[in-house]
Every structure is written in structure tokens, then in C-alpha cells.
Amino acid sequence: MKEKEASTREKLKRWSHEASKELKEAKDHSQLDDTYKSYLGKKGLLSEISKGLKNLPIEERRDTGQMVGEYRNQIESLYQDLSARLTQKDLEKRLQKENYDLLRPFSLPIGRLHPLTIMQREVEDIFSTMGFEMMDGPELETDEYNFERLNFSKDHPARDMQDTIWTEDGRLLRTHTSAVQVRAMEIKKPPFRILAHGRCFRYEETDSSHETTFHQIEGMMVDRVVSVAHLIYVMKILLSRIFDKEVKVRLRPGYFPFVEPGFELDMFCLLCAGKGCSTCRHSCWIELLPCGLVHPQVLRLGGISPNEWSGFAFGLGLDRLVMMRYGVEDIRRFLSGNLRFLNQF
Ligand code: FA5
């Protein structure tokens, strides 16, 4: 047995010597890996030696086993070392061949924000200084959130005001961000102020001020005594900050089942300044911002007592606001993907 043990140890020493030598002689990764496998792989020489350990007497098995482990670690770390060196050499060779100058200055075209995003963030900043909290809602909505709980019963004629795109499972692409009002009432206790922005979708014929996909910013404030005066004040702050000057606005009565009273806030068209253009449909006013006081029934459906609480809400057409600010004459440019247009902002 002693002889057998001695010959196993001899074998191990020889093995380790040969393995180191061959690994060091490897010229590339493939030679290195092949050598590694032939010694340390599953069917390699070391595995064979390890299998033979069980034939040694128990008291010698431990020492020889330990020796196997040590050699394995030595060869393993030599392999890792050589492999890293080869990688470095390969890289140096490639860099020489490709003539890389890592210090050569280069310029990448700088990306920029979409004008809608610029405006959205600006509006959000203005409202957050007035204590409004940002909220989000899904673009694929249910009839309940988009219509029913906003006081549009199933056969309400006002549903026809918004040409809806339905999905086969009975849901819809939200026609307005007002659906987020319902979600806000569901999760917030009054008093609260929220702002939500996002895409809306309508099955509409497009023209210079109408798109099938457009953007709205919804605002809602619920507190003890909220009046039209609060609403007008907030709207004026918004427009004067956005346009940095006094902007002419007018309020017309407007009908939406979820506000009472409801208004249309129009803005004097800055594109034609009173001359008449296709964007304002030659009326010199741009319909920008419908708003009103939250209908008591909507509060009730949202679990809020209208005897205790009141509120205002508005739905700002973001695309049209951007058109007025930058003098964009056609809303369809925003989603056109035309870089010459987008690079101007
Ligand atoms: C609404 O969508 C209501 N949810 C707004 C509201 C909110 C009223 C809260 C009261 C209280 P309206 O359908 O008018 O209302 O759309 C609101 C704004 O979205 C419009 O003034 C307009 O600026 C913009 N808008 C509507 N349809 C389009 C369209 N097809 N393309 C571009 N902008 C549009």
C-alpha cells in the first residue's frame, strides 16, 4: 500500500509539473483551454487520480486527497493568470492593428427632449409649487373609470362627444385624463390636489389641431370650500408663467357631465394674433382648457361627501399649449418623428 501511495504522490508531482509546463507553452486561448481540459477537465488526468484515491488506505487517503486539492488550486490559478495575460496581449495586438487613439476627441449628436416633454415638465413644476401632487393612470381604461364614475351613464349622449376606440375585450383607450380623477378619489382622502399627464386617444379625423393621439394634463383640487375664483386664479398663474406675459383668455359655458358649472377656457390665438388662421379655424381663439367645479355626483361616486367637500378640475390640451408657445402650426408634427422639426427645440 505504501508503494501505491508513493506512486500516487509521484504521479501527482509529475502531473503538476507537466501541466504547468504545457499551460505556460500555450500560444493562444484555444491551446490553453485544451491543455486545461486535458488535466483538470471531467475526463482529465486529475479526475482519474482522484478516482483512484478510494483504493488507498483510509489514513493515507486524507493526506493524498489534500495534495490533490492543493495541486488543483495551483494549476487553476496558473490557468486564470495565463488566460488574463493572453486576453491582455490580444487586446494590445488589436489596438495596434486598429490604430486606436483613445484620446482623439469625438462628438456624438446630443439628444434633446421632445417639446411636449419640455412643456409637461414646466407645467408640473408650476403646479408642484402650488402643492399639487403628480399622479398616473393607465392608457387602457375601463368604461367605469373613463365614463361611468364621471357621471356618464351607459346611454349618456355626452359619450358621443369623445369618439372612443374600444378594444375587443370591452375596454377602451382612454379618451381623456379625467379617468385619473376617479383613481385619485379612490386612493386619496380630501383635501388633496393632483396633476396627471398622459396620452389620450380618439377616433377622430385629423387636421392641424386634432390628432388621434394627443396629450392632456388633468388637474383636480378637492378641499372644504373651493370656488370658481380658485379655479380662475390657478389657470391665470399657469398661463402667465408659461407665456411670460399677460395672455388674453375667455371663459365660455361648457358642458361636461362631471363638472357643474363647466367652462371652456379659450386662449387668444398667438399664431395669428387676431388675423385668423387654420389652427384657430379663423376664430382667433384656441380651445385650450375645459374646466369646472367637480359635480357633486362625481364626488359621491368617489366616496367623498359633497356636503363637506368641493373641488375644481381641468383638462389641459398639452399639444395645443405647445403649439401656441412655439408657433407650431400643425399638431401632426409632434408625432411625425421628423428630426428637422424636433431639433429646433
Ligand atoms: C375633455 O377631455 C375633458 N376631460 C376635460 C375636462 C377635465 C373638463 C376636467 C372639465 C373638467 P375635451 O374633449 O374638450 O374635454 O378635451 C380637452 C382638451 O384636450 C381640448 O381643449 C383640447 O385642447 C384637447 N383635445 C381634445 N381632443 C383633441 C384632439 N383630437 N387632438 C388634440 N387635442 C385635443
- Has residue 106 been placed in a domain? no
Q: How far apart are CA 341 and CA 338, in angstroms?
A: 5
Q: How far apart are CA 184 and CA 85, in angstroms?
A: 61
pLDDT, tens digit, 9 for 90 and up, residues 242-270: 988 778 888 899 999 999 999 999 888 88
pLDDT, tens digit, 9 for 90 and up, residues 306-324: 999 999 999 999 999 999 8
Q: Note whether 261 and 330 are same-domain residues.
A: yes
Backbone angles phi, psi at 44, to 5 degrees: -75, 170
Q: How many domains does the chain have?
A: 2
- Has residue 103 been placed in a domain? no
pLDDT at 5: 53
Atom of ligand 1 nearest to the CA of 317: 23
Q: Is the CB of 312 under 6 A from ligand 1?
A: no
Residue 209 domain boundaries: 115-342
Q: Note whether 19 and 133 are same-domain residues.
A: no
Q: Is the CB of 210 under 6 A from ligand 1?
A: yes
**Distance from residue 159's CA to the centre of ligand 1 (Å):** 13
pLDDT at 123: 97
**Distance from residue 52's CA to the centre of ligand 1 (Å):** 82
**Distance from residue 35's CA to the centre of ligand 1 (Å):** 72
DSSP 210: B
Atom of ligand 1 nearest to the CA of 289: 21
Atom of ligand 1 nearest to the CA of 212: 30
Using an 8 Å Cβ cutoff, are 264 and 301 in contact?
no
Report field, pTM of the whole predicted structure over 0.85: no
Q: If you take atom 15 of ligand 1, which residue's CA is the nearest one?
A: 290
- Has residue 211 been placed in a domain? yes
Q: Note whether 144 and 58 are same-domain residues.
A: no
pLDDT averaged over the chain? 91
Q: Note whether 164 and 291 are same-domain residues.
A: yes
- Has residue 110 been placed in a domain? no
pLDDT, tens digit, 9 for 90 and up, residues 175-222: 999 999 999 999 999 999 999 999 999 999 999 999 999 999 999 999
CB contact burial 61-93 (16+ within 10 A = b; e otherwise):
eeebeebbeebbeebeebbeebbeebeeeeeee
Q: Is residue 315 classed exposed, middle or buried when 0-12, 13-18 and 19+ CB atoms within 10 A define those classes?
A: buried
- Has residue 105 been placed in a domain? no
Atom of ligand 1 nearest to the CA of 204: 30
Q: Is the CB of 320 under 6 A from ligand 1?
A: yes
Q: Note whether 87 and 193 are same-domain residues.
A: no
Q: What average pLDDT does this structure show over 94-119?
A: 86
The CATH number of the domain where 174 resides is what? 3.30.930.10
Residue 6, classed as helix, strand or coil, is: helix
pLDDT, tens digit, 9 for 90 and up, residues 48-91: 878 888 888 887 788 888 888 888 899 999 999 999 999 999 99
**Distance from residue 322's CA to the centre of ligand 1 (Å):** 14
Q: What average pLDDT does this structure show over 273-302?
A: 91
Tell which residue, 220, 216, 246, 219, has the closest CA to residue 320.
216
Q: Note whether 208 and 294 are same-domain residues.
A: yes
pLDDT at 13: 85
CB contact burial 100-127 (16+ within 10 A = b; e otherwise):
eeeeeeeeeeeeeeebbeebbebbbebb
Give the pLDDT band of residue 1 (cuts 50, 70, 90). very low
- Has residue 309 been placed in a domain? yes
Q: Is the CB of 259 under 6 A from ligand 1?
A: yes
Mutate to test the pocket of ligand 1, among 175, 199, 200, 226 (most ligand atoms within 8 A of CB): 200
Amino acid at 289: L
Q: What average pLDDT does this structure show over 234-245?
A: 88
Q: What average pLDDT does this structure show over 112-128?
A: 96
**Distance from residue 204's CA to the centre of ligand 1 (Å):** 13
